[in-house]
């Protein structure tokens, strides 16, 4: 039997962002739980998460159609239509319901990375901006930083459950699509447009990533001179 037709649903920059974010979030969680000297690696993972979130925010405005917020963030009517199974509500990229998860994930992880810049562990380590706000405010922000852990874990758990549900109930391989960039064209209507994944798109993403990396490096470099 001929293999089913495929359609490109994710450009390479979006896929790289997704898997790097997975690695960094897991790395940050594991290293903070191990503690000790691993806290330094926790902070490095945190800087990486900050950079990735900043990249995704910019890419949500300047990326491919399927990666732009305007391309997948929809209102209550579109969400209701998707839940009813309306074929018109199904298109490549994030579905209207999944868009809410994406926004929540960006908000929670962005908040976690930002507060981490001002947090401290009460012993040896502190974020690069902690000393600039004073010990009392740093302690308050540290509490908020720790408080954000459970919402992130809950959202990640729901995300994994959603992937399993789509695989079992709807036969949609969301994970493989995020790896290869392609999905079965049968999942969408004939009007579906493939994602643009040209060399130009990838070059634009590389330029944005370089600028974001420079911004994060500049923020981390604000640590007072002489601090170890």
Is the residue at 226 inside a domain? Answer: no
Name the percent of the chain lying above pLDDT 90.
Answer: 61
% residues pLDDT > 70 (the chain): 92
Mean pLDDT of the chain: 89
pTM, two decimal places: 0.91
Average pLDDT over residues 106-126: 93
Q: Is the pLDDT of residue 101 over 60?
A: yes
pLDDT attached to residue 183: 85
- Higher pLDDT pick, 224 / 13: 13
As for how many domains the chain has, the answer is 1
Identify the residue whose tokens are 């012993």: 123
Within-domain flag for 13: yes
pLDDT at 226 over 50: no
* Segments forming the whole domain that contains residue 112: 6-220
Whether residue 70 lies inside any domain: the answer is yes
Distance, in Å, from the CA atom of 42 to the CA atom of 28, rounded to the nearest integer, reads: 5
Question: Cα–Cα distance between 93 and 223 in angstroms, integer?
Answer: 39
| Amino acid 2: pLDDT | 40
Structure tokens at 149: 């852990």
Give the CATH number, domain containing residue 20. 1.20.950.20
């Amino acid at each position: 039997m001929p293999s089913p037709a495929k359609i490109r649903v994710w450009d390479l920059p979006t896929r790289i962002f997704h898997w790097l974010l997975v690695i960094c979030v897991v790395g940050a969680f594991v290293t903070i739980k191990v503690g000790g000297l691993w806290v330094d690696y926790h902070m490095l993972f945190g800087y990486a998460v900050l950079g990735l979130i900043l990249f995704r925010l910019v890419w949500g405005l300047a990326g491919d159609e399927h990666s732009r917020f305007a391309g997948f963030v929809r209102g209550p009517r579109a969400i209701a239509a998707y839940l009813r199974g309306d074929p018109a509500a199904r298109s490549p990229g994030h579905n209207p319901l999944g868009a809410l998860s994406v926004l929540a994930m960006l908000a929670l992880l962005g908040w976690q990375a930002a507060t981490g810049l001002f947090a401290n562990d009460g012993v040896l380590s502190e974020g690069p901006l902690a000393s600039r706000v004073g010990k009392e405010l740093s302690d308050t922000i540290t509490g908020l930083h720790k408080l954000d852990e459970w919402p992130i874990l809950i959202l990640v758990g729901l995300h994994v459950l959603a992937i399993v549900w789509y695989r079992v109930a709807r036969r949609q391989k969301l994970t493989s699509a995020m790896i290869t960039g392609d999905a079965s064209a049968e999942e969408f209507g004939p009007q579906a447009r493939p994602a643009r994944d040209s060399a130009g798109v990838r070059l634009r993403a590389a330029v944005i990533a370089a600028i974001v990396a420079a911004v994060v490096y500049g923020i981390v470099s604000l640590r007072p001179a002489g601090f170890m």
